[in-house]
Amino acid sequence: DGGITQSPKYLFRKEGQNVTLSCEQNLNHDAMYWYRQDPGQGLRLIYYSQIVNDFQKGDIAEGYSVSREKKESFPLTVTSAQKNPTAFYLCASRTISGLSTDTQYFGPGTRLTVL
């Protein structure tokens, strides 16, 4: 069954703790992305990666870190430096073939709540 999986679906964290969100895809997509969605706001890009062992900061990278050791996996760590981490986190992936139709496909998301 192909697709993008994220785990866990819900995550609760105490202030001051780091937490890692998982994202895995078996679509053989080249690029992977992490977004954050807050109520009433559009998706905001945290990090993205086009190839293994390389990634770029998005618009709101502060307080987050990522790794891309395997093509299929792009975990996101929310560190204690992130001031307002409570949000809905979405992982996406896409192929890079140069076509204008290369769009993103999303995982089901992780809802992070800081207590």
| CB closer to other proteins, 82 vs 104 | 104
Give a three-class secondary structure readout of the chain.
CCCEEEECCEEEECCCCCEEEEEEECCCCCEEEEEEECCCCCCEEEEEEEECCEEEECCCCCCEEECCCECCECCEEECCCCCCCCEEEEEEEECCCCCCCCCCEECCCEEEEEC
| CB closer to other proteins, 53 vs 103 | 103
Number of residues binding to other proteins, judged by CB under 8 A: 26
**Which of positions 24-53 make contact with other proteins (CB under 8 A)?**
31, 33, 35, 40-43, 45, 48, 50
Min CB(26)–other proteins separation in Å: 17
**Which of positions 44-103 make contact with other proteins (CB under 8 A)?**
45, 48, 50, 56, 58, 88, 90, 96, 100-103
